[in-house]
Structure 1
Amino acid sequence: MPKEKSLKIGIQKFGNALSSMILPNIGAFLAFGIVTALFIPTGWWPNKQLAELVGPFITYLLPLLIGYTGGKLVCGHRGGVVGAIATAGIIVGTDVPMFLGAMIMGPLGGYLIKKFDKLIEGKIKTGFEMLVDNFSSGILGAILAILGYWAFGPIFDTASSILASGVEWLIHTGMLPLASLFIEPGKVLFLNNAINHGVLTPIGLEQVKQFGHSVLFLLEANPGPGMGVLIAYSFFGKGNAKKTAPGAAIIHFFGGIHEIFFPYVLMKPQLILATILGGMSGVFTLVTLHGGLVGPASPGSIIAVLLVTPKSVPIFLANIADVLVSFTVSFLISSFILKLDKSAAGDLDEATKKMEALKGKKSSISDVLTQTNTLDPGSVEKIVFACDAGMGSSAMGASLLKKKIKAAGLDIYVTNVAVSSIPNDAQIVVTQEGLTGRAKERAPQAYHVSVDNFLDSSKYDALINLLLTKKEASELGTKAVAQDQDAAQDELVLKKSDIYLDRKFSSKEEAIRFAGQALVDNGYVMPSYIDGMIERDKDMSTYMGNEIAIPHGTEEAKKDILDSGVVIVQVPDGVSFDGNKVHLVFGIAGKNNSHLSILSKIAVACSEISNVRKMADAQTKEQLLHVIEEAIKEKA
């Protein structure tokens, strides 16, 4: 493995580890910010008694939660207990809030107790397990607490002081805006949570204790740079990128889900310059006007930023100016870059496909077919959408998936969690590609789907379409005995008369209507079925990946089916299905599920893009059928 790739993976794992300890406890951080904003002497409603909560929150509660979470991630609840005990030692042994120490002592405690458990595995006599468990965690925790007090505490105290001094130096020398050179590229590489909550938040909380607010909470959380990129795409973007940018901007600015703008920057890497200069301009404004927050703004929406702004008109204006300036600079530079760009690679779907090709990924239909072999769709009751935090991109993805599940008429529960908290009963897990490895470790029994772009629903559609198909196949199996009289229809064969070669279409609707009319002409459906095919594609894209589409009617349109049948329409020059190039259109009409045998053959043949290309290039109907037959033999 190249050194650059190893370094990138190492940085990503380190960032994930930091953010995984902070993000599950964001509620506690927000509680601290709210209490601080309200009750300290400069707060909205100063209250001397309630302000006493601030000290214990920052000194004890937050570090202990981080330490417990770090240990739990390594060795479950048992590791969390040892991690919290170890963290208590460094809390008492230092004079500053011990966030950095908790991030080390927590996982260390979990790691050591895990190693101990492995060492004694199978060596404890029956009946003594609980005794050994309790004493081992208590003894190890006590040892780590003592070491934390005497040895690690002073080291972490010194390290925290050095980091705080470094930040103070950057502020006093006016060089803090240079931090954007590292923060903005780090965000786009999905290290945003690690940067904000793993590095800036601990130092910022210490500054709040001393000064009442901190600029550090706004360095990463500022929604201005990302907003500038998305609004620029809204005016000067191309294809789906331009269409989806306004909605993404709303989610980013008011929902605080910064991850949504990352694919837009990755699509045009030059735009990273816009976010850097926008971030630097905002930080300069923030420092000059002495702005800042009393706690972390998480998620990083404008609403969260205003909620944790101190009760001070100048600071309010400073924070708003920070967002406006960074947005303006980012927007102007992004607009300039997008207007100058004359390349055709301005479409979000096209960029996603190119990124998949560079990564050597299989297409969505291939991924789904490969994994569905181990899934019983008829028993699927729970789908989990997981992201690093379990509260931003996963919530958005789960919402989109819920709508599609409901539209498909499937009774499946969809929820969202952090990747580290995937439940054991998860049957299907949907994650970002970079988190799929962790998701598989957490839930090896589940069926996993990877997505790159939160707004690209093609993989959700592929999953749901195959769930529907497999669900129908499962139902068919339970009715097999009652349908013996229809057995003759269960083995339909592809006929040459159902194949249409060398067709050209100007739009997907034209292609779908042609396939529908072919079904009508061959006696499979009534003409009204065609409208059902158009309606189905509007509700849920029938593009399946691998340059194929499988249009079919809605549930209501089944009454218009006269007989089961499948038509194959070859489009050598391709036709666009929502930005995806399609070379083969399979029109489907299924009565009593007898079309499933043909659909299964098509799925097998189309799971390899090379077979699709051969069918798209076939000069005769015999050649096209031969590709399908050979693919089935190879898979058999």
Structure 2
Amino acid sequence: MAENRGFRAKVQRFGSYLSGMIMPNIGAFIAWGIITALFIPDGWWPNEQLATLVDPMINYLLPLLIGFTGGRMVHGFRGGVVGATATMGVIVGADIPMFLGAMIMGPLAGYLMKKIDQAFLDKIKSGFEMLYNNFSAGILAAILAGIAVKLIGPVVESLNNVLAAGVETIINAGLLPLANVIIEPAKILFLNNAINHGILGPIGVEQAADTGKSILFLLEANPGPGLGILLAFAIFGKGMSKSSAPGAIVIQFLGGIHEIYFPYILSKPALLLAAIGGGVSGVLTFQIFGAGLVATASPGSIFAVFIMASKGSYLGIALGVIVAAAVSFFLAALILKTSKTEEEDLSEATGKMEEMKGKKSSVTGALGQKDEETDAQAESQEEQEKSKDEINKIIFACDAGMGSSAMGSSLLKNKFKKADIDIFVTNKAINEIPDDADIVITHKDLTDRAKMKLPTAEHISVENFLNSPKYEELVQRLKN
């Protein structure tokens, strides 16, 4: 059992790392998708000159951004520069977009640069630091770029071709809907980012570059299965699950935060069959109508899905979402109505989810849980005595800087607005916490990482981002 938990934790960290390289650059992917949808010959407004942006962006801009982000995650800006330069090697050494190569070279370059600095930086004599910094990074980057051109680029291209051929074979055989037999359970285990951004996304981008759309972008982002399950709870659920389901629908379907419905499935594991049924039927409908997106829809909101829809795919996408929601609703309703056992308390189900994820989820707050960990780290006297004038920037931080931290940031902004407190509040990934942050708010399991990133800031630990008494305490403190 312990070995299984350890393996699962490693896989989850791997998935988090993959998504950490992709998600900060989603804006660039969306920009590429919009340009592709509008200006290629089959787009909405074909334009030969503007269409020339498509190939350079997919072949150079996007892989370099991924490589830079991967290197920076390991060893700061210095690792990012070496990572981007090394990524250029796999770009030149292959004839396809090198997303997979960038996800290898970026972190590898950052790791090697970090090890070299650990070995030599303290031994550099005063006055030679800049010389060492520039030439060590330059020499390592040149070596890695050369190796990537000759060795890593061709190998990654071959691997990428095998994966793409496998996906194409599955699609041609009409078996793509069965992918959701894996994807839906993976979402409950928080491996969806690894699958979506690490595998489906890069292959989907290549397909979109060739045909103007890809169905792969819809496999994980479809909000239909989660909508159907939540609707079933809103009608046939009991107690807290019934009363909280309508609010969860808004967050999941409109906001795109899919993790909100995971505890509902964990409260009755048989509901996983409803999620799988909805996912499979939705993808089958997408496939029948030839629907696809031009780029990744992130987050998985119905709005994001339609904004990224390719020309001629709107009907197919709408029907796919409706069918997925209807099937998952029917199966979930059947399971809820025929179940002979009492429904497990949602707080216990949320605990299961938190154990699998490795940290508490923001969904706890959305479900009305108000308990705070009594043994949270005490804030220092110096931090408590900070005055309002000393605090200019408050940062909510989580793994990716999206989802839960964004919702917590929005909540505190509203509280500040009502209290007439004019202090800047925003959300960031932990690796992107700015140096001038005065207060950093994180989940208690991430606070130590945040303190390592910025030890000079005041750190506030919360049990969940959506419902913490720490917010009211902070408001009162700043008002006084």
Matched, 1:393 2:400: no
CA–CA distance in structure 2, aligned partners of residues 442 and 274 of structure 1? 41
CA contact (8 A) 2:87 2:148 kept: yes
Quote the offset at 1:360 in angstroms.
12
CA distance in structure 1 between the aligned counterparts of 2:265 and 2:118, rounded to whole angstroms? 45
Q: In structure 1, what is the Cα distance between the partners aligned to 2:46 and 2:286? A: 25
What residue number does 1:45 align with? 45
Code of the aligned partner of 1:371: A
Q: Deviations over 1:578-605 (max 9, x none)?
A: xxxxxxxxxxxxxxxxxxxxxxxxxxxx
Given that 2:416 and 2:475 are in contact with CA atoms closer than 8 Å, whether structure 1 keeps it comes out as no
Distance change (3 Å), C-alpha of 1:87 and 1:318? same
Q: Rate the CA distance shift 1:354–1:294 in 2: closer, same or farther, 3 A.
A: closer
* RMSD between superposed Cα atoms in Å: 2.9
Q: Give 1:540's aligned residue.
A: none
What do the CA deviations read for 1:281-305 (whole angstroms, capped 9, x no partner)?
1111222222111111112212221
Displacement of 1:341 in angstroms is 4.2
Counterpart among 309, 321, 324 of residue 323 in structure 1:
321
Structure 2 partner of 1:364: 372
Q: Hey, what's the Cα distance between the residues in 2 that align with 1:142 and 1:468?
A: 51
AA at the equivalent of 2:384: P
In the other structure, the counterpart of 1:164 is: 164
Q: Against the structure 1 CA distance between its residues 388 and 28, is the aligned structure 2 distance closer, same or farther, given a 3 Å change threshold?
A: same
Query: Aligned letter for 1:149?
Result: V
C-alpha distance in 2 between matches for 1:356 and 1:300: 21
- Deviation per residue, 1:45-76 (Å, 9 max, x gap): 11111111110111000000000000011111
Runs of at least 4 residues off by over 6 Å:
353-362, 408-411, 468-472
Q: 1:273 is matched by which residue type in structure 2? A: L
Instruction: State the structure with bigger RCO (CA 8 A, min sep 6), 1 or 2.
Output: 2
Decide which moves more: 236-245 or 343-352. Answer: 343-352
SS in 2 for 1:49: helix
| Contact map agreement 1:99 1:202 (CA 8 A) in 2 | yes
Once residues 150 and 228 of structure 1 are traced to their aligned partners in structure 2, the CA distance between those partners, rounded to angstroms, is 50
Q: When the two structures are superposed, what TM-score results if normalisation uses the length of structure 1? A: 0.68
The AA in structure 2 aligned to 1:258 is: H
State yes or no: 1:377 paired with 2:389. no
Distance of 2:432 and 2:239 partners within structure 1: 37
1:110 positional shift:
0.7
Q: How far 1:187 sits from its partner (Å)?
A: 1.6
Amino acid aligned to 1:325? V
- Specify the code of the residue in structure 2 equivalent to 1:318: G
Report SS of the residue matched to 1:256: coil
Judging changes above 3 Å, is the alpha-carbon distance between structure 1 residues 298 and 466 closer, same or farther for their aligned structure 2 residues? closer
Q: Distance in 2 between matches of 1:129 and 1:272?
A: 57
State the alpha-carbon separation in 2 of the partners of residues 86 and 357 from structure 1.
37
Indicate how the Cα distance of structure 1 residues 213 and 354 shifts in structure 2: closer, same or farther if over 3 A, else same.
closer
Label 1:375 to 1:284 Cα distance change in 2 as closer, same or farther (>3 A): farther
Say whether the 8 Å CA contact 1:240–1:349 is kept in structure 2: no
Q: Percent identity?
A: 55
**Secondary structure, aligned partner of 1:449:** strand
Separation in 2, partners of 1:286, 1:356: 33
In 2, Cα distance between equivalents of 1:271 and 1:327: 13
Query: AA paired with 1:449?
Result: S
1:367 Cα deviation from its structure 2 partner: 3.3
Shift in CA distance, 365/306, structure 1 to aligned 2, threshold 3 Å: closer
Deviations 1:273-325 (A, max 9, x none): 2111111111112222221111111122122212222222xx32222221111
Q: What aligned pairs does 1:178-217 form with structure 2 within 5 A after superposition? A: 178-217=178-217
CA-CA distance at 1:133 after TM superposition: 1.0
Larger displacement relative to structure 2 (401-410 or 2-11): 401-410
The answer (yes or no) to whether the contact 1:430–1:451 under 8 Å persists in 2 is no
TM-score with structure 2 setting the length: 0.88
**Aligned partner of residue 246 in structure 2, secondary structure:** helix
Tell me what 2:427 maps to: 416
- Distance in 2 between the 1:367 and 1:428 partners? 20
The count of corresponding residues between Structure 1 and Structure 2 is: 465
Cα 1:439/1:227, change in 2 over 3 Å: farther
Residue aligning to 1:142: 142
Any conservation in 2 of the 1:256–1:302 contact (CA below 8 Å)? yes
- The unaligned stretches of length 5 or more in structure 2 are 361-369
In the alignment, what sits opposite 1:30? 30
Q: Distance in 1 between matches of 2:102 and 2:355?
A: 41
* 3-state secondary structure, aligned to 2:230: helix
Could you tell me whether the CA contact under 8 Å between 1:239 and 1:348 is conserved in 2? no
Equivalence map 1:30-429=2 (5 Å): 30-312=30-312, 315-341=313-339, 345=343, 347-349=345-347, 351-352=349-350, 364-368=372-376, 370-373=377-380, 376-379=383-386, 381=391, 382-404=393-415, 413-426=424-437, 428-429=439-440
Matched residue type, 2:400 = A
SS at match of 1:190: coil
The DSSP-based 3-state class of the residue aligned with 2:38 is: helix
Please say if residues 378 and 470 of structure 1, whose CA atoms lie closer than 8 Å, have aligned partners that are also in contact. no
Question: What SS class does the counterpart of residue 122 from structure 2 fall into?
Answer: coil
Contact preservation (8 Å) 1:16, 1:194:
yes
- CA deviation profile, 1:78-110 (whole Å, cap 9, x unmatched): 111100010001101101100000000001111
CA contact (8 A) 1:204 1:216 kept: yes
Residue matched to 2:363:
none
Quote the offset at 1:208 in angstroms.
1.4
Deviation, structure 1 residue 467: 4.7
Contact preservation (8 Å) 2:415, 2:475: no
Distance 1:450 1:300 in 2: 26
Q: Which amino acid aligns with 1:279?
A: G
- Secondary structure (helix, strand or coil) at the match of 1:414 reads strand
- The answer as to whether partners of 1:440 and 1:448 remain within 8 angstroms in 2 is no
Specify the alignment match of 1:485 in structure 2.
none
Q: 1:451 to 1:325 in 2, by over 3 A?
A: farther
Q: Which moved more, 1:107-116 or 1:372-381?
A: 372-381
For 2:62 and 2:120, the matched residues in 1 are separated by: 33
Q: C-alpha separation between the residues in 2 aligned to 1:260 and 1:250?
A: 10
Change (3 A) 1:309 1:177: same
Greater shift, 194-203 or 83-92, is seen at: 194-203
Q: Which residue of the partner structure matches residue 449 of structure 1?
A: 461
User: Shift of residue 429 of structure 1?
Assistant: 3.9
Q: 1:210 to 1:195 in 2, by over 3 A?
A: same
Structure index of larger Rg: 1
Q: Residue 179 of structure 1 aligns to a residue in which SS?
A: helix
Question: Match for 1:231: what amino acid?
Answer: L
Q: Distance in 1 between matches of 2:394 and 2:335?
A: 40
Secondary structure of the structure 2 residue equivalent to 1:367:
coil
Residues 559-578 of structure 1, C-alpha deviations (whole Å, 9 max, x = no match): xxxxxxxxxxxxxxxxxxxx
Distance between the aligned counterparts of 1:435 and 1:27, measured in 2?
25
Mapped to 2, the partners of 1:67 and 1:76 lie a distance apart of 12
